[in-house]
Structure 1
Amino acid sequence: MTSTLRALVLASGISAVALTGSAIANDVKPEAVAFSDAGGIETPVAAQAGSADAGKKILTDRGLGNCVACHQVSSLDAPFQGNVGPSLDGVADRYEPAMLRAIIVNPKKALYEGTIMPGFYTLDVGKHVREDLVGQTILSAQQVEDVVAYLQTLKE
């Protein structure tokens, strides 16, 4: 602990244990994500709340989520939007945040095993994974929460 932080802690009467225990939160690791009986993920997987602006960028970034390769969002100015998956227009009216999170994290658990949608925050990704990508997720926990935040803005 730095001397400035120590002085602040002493002056405020806050114990160092309480400060470090409650002020620092961690992302949920992919293998520790808990699905509810209804199939959703109630607890955010990232320590910080999602940003809808960041989520919008992830949705259209061909090197990240690339959601628009399969889905369409009418309000987005993104070329070559797909029609393999359902339109995301009004998705916030159809799903609660917990279910949106679950679908992004691992749609094979949230929807059904046969879906072609990949899991973006799971290590259960199949057999033929490039060696340098083994043990990695497609999106980070924060990026998942950012996409959920953006999807919550898509109402009819």
Structure 2
Amino acid sequence: MFSVLRQASRAAAARPSASAVLRTHPFARTLVTKRYTEEHEAVVYDDATGLGTVSITDYAQSSLGDVVFVELPVIGTEVKQGDQIGAVESVKAASDIYAPISGTIEEINEELSSQPGLLNKSPEGDGWLCKIKVTDAKEVESLMTEDKYKEHCEH
């Protein structure tokens, strides 16, 4: 019994304390910004990685109805803000997807090919579309804030 306690206390002593971790990275800070387009795309930009995760908004998925097919861009494709990067088809309609920001497609959500309904269940979460390595972070700031987007949807 005492040997187990001794091993546990040695293991705890070997772990760095919270203050040691803070001293290692005192100025580590990430800014994550979420913005919207008039075409109902959303982008979550992480300034630490330079990646923008693109999705359609909840408003867009509810307008489309049950999504049955998602066309996504090809990894490595360079896109400019406003370029068509894919499409969404539902039982009601089809809609193009546009790049909210310029950059290079780094990753796509492979899950959507077999589970397009993720766009309905979690459009801005598990139903994300692609990740873009942003070339001009100022473009993110030019997009609508959440409040402005809500106003846009009310009109």
Q: Say whether the fold is shared (TM-score over 0.5).
A: no
| Higher normalized helix content (fraction of residues) | 1
Higher radius of gyration, 1 or 2: 2
| Greater strand share, structure number | 2
TM norm structure 2: 0.27
Which structure would you say has the larger RCO, counting Cα contacts within 8 Å and 6 or more residues apart?
1
